[in-house]
């Protein structure tokens, strides 16, 4: 199985980019991650970078374990809070593809989407107050984007001493494309547009460019950092 991918990260109108991302491949297979430092806390960019650094380091080691990687990153970020005297936190979303399966992990509201023939076959679940409103039937999933409490998270790395990580397992044949992105990206690119852009694209670069165009047409003058990693799988 071969992987082709492209990446994108933009500061938006913020003073700094608190998003981080990585793409890794080696003896443990193929992996990618996106992290979004919480903008309400000084050091969000440090927290997201600490997660990505730990993810890359763990991926290079024997016995790579996604949950353990998130746990250790959480500890590192909490230690850094004391060092820098602030409450830095971050979301995180990642995929790990080996020969037998694909594992998806997420904390917060950075997302992972999986597609098959241009249609969404999997979407990670946000850990936010707005998602809780969806779960209770108060709002529809599309209304998350405009909900007044959308940015209030119920989980994050650095939020508590122990963090619950959502893990989902996919068969490698269940999908042919993946999208990992921060909320600054998916907030302005609707799922229907993700699918339409994918159907019109032959390469990750084309797919990403079309989605960025959708975002730029919709985004307001005041907008967040936004990051995306797109991956297409080729049988080889």
Q: At 203, which CATH number?
A: 3.60.40.10
Alpha-carbon torsion, ordered 127, 170, 66, 40, to 10 deg? -20
Position with higher pLDDT, 67 vs 147: 67
Which of these ranges, 12-16, 81-85, 187-191, 219-223, has the smallest mean pLDDT?
A: 219-223
Which pLDDT score, from 0 to 100, does residue 229 have? 98
Q: Which of 11, 4, 7 is nearest to 181 (CA)?
A: 7
What is the rounded average pLDDT for all residues in the chain? 94
Nearest-5° Cα angle at 126, 1 to 92 = 60
Q: Which of 40, 54, 194, 209 is nearest to 108 (CA)?
A: 40
Rounded alpha-carbon distances, angstroms, from residue 73 to 4, 23, 77, 119, 135: 27, 17, 6, 33, 28
Q: How sure is the predictor about 236, in pLDDT bands with cuts at 50, 70 and 90?
A: low
Q: How sure is the predictor about 15, in pLDDT bands with cuts at 50, 70 and 90?
A: confident
Which pLDDT score, from 0 to 100, does residue 12 have? 86
Q: At what angle do helices 44-59 and 66-84 cross, to 10 degrees?
A: 140
Which pLDDT score, from 0 to 100, does residue 219 have? 87
Which pLDDT score, from 0 to 100, does residue 77 have? 97
Distance between CA atoms of residues 209 and 64, nearest Å: 33
Mean pLDDT of 44-67: 96
Which sign does the torsion angle of CA 157, 161, 166, 167 carry? positive
Scanning the chain, the segments in alpha helix (DSSP H) are 44-59, 66-84, 129-135, 183-186, 191-199, 204-218
Name the residue range of residue 41's domain.
2-234
Distance between CA atoms of residues 126 and 24, nearest Å: 24
Taking 80 as the threshold, does the pLDDT of residue 90 lie above it?
Answer: yes
Residues 52 and 91: beta-carbon distance below 8 Å: no
Neighbour order of strands in the sheet with 2-10: 2-10, 226-234, 177-181, 111-116, 119-123
| Tokens read off for 69 | 């990687």
Taking 90 as the threshold, does the pLDDT of residue 151 lie above it?
Answer: no
Residues 19 and 227: beta-carbon distance below 8 Å: yes
Mean pLDDT of 90-109: 96
Which sign does the torsion angle of CA 114, 115, 116, 120 carry? positive
Work out how many domains the chain is built from and give that number: 1
């Amino acid at each position: 199985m071969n992987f082709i991918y492209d990446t994108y990260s933009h500061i938006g109108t913020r003073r700094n980019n608190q998003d981080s991302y990585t793409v890794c491949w080696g003896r443990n297979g193929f992996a990618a991650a996106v992290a979004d430092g919480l903008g309400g806390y000084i050091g969000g960019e440090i927290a997201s970078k600490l997660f990505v650094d730990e993810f890359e380091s763990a991926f290079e080691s024997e016995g790579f374990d996604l949950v353990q990687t998130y746990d250790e990153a959480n500890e590192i970020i909490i230690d850094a809070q004391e060092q820098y005297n602030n409450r830095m936190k971050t979301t995180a979303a990642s995929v790990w593809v080996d020969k037998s399966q694909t594992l998806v992990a997420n904390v917060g509201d950075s997302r992972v989407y999986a597609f098959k023939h241009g249609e969404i076959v999997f979407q990670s679940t946000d850990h936010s107050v707005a998602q809780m409103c969806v779960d209770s039937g108060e709002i529809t999933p599309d209304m998350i984007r405009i909900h007044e409490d959308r940015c209030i998270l119920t989980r994050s790395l650095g939020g508590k001493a122990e963090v619950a990580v959502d893990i989902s397992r996919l068969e490698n044949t269940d999908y042919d494309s993946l999208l990992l992105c921060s909320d600054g990206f998916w907030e302005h690119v609707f799922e229907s547009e993700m699918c339409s852009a994918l159907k019109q694209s032959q390469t990750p670069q084309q797919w990403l460019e079309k989605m960025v165009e959708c975002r730029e047409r919709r985004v307001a003058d005041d907008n967040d950092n936004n990051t995306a990693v797109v991956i297409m799988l080729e049988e080889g």
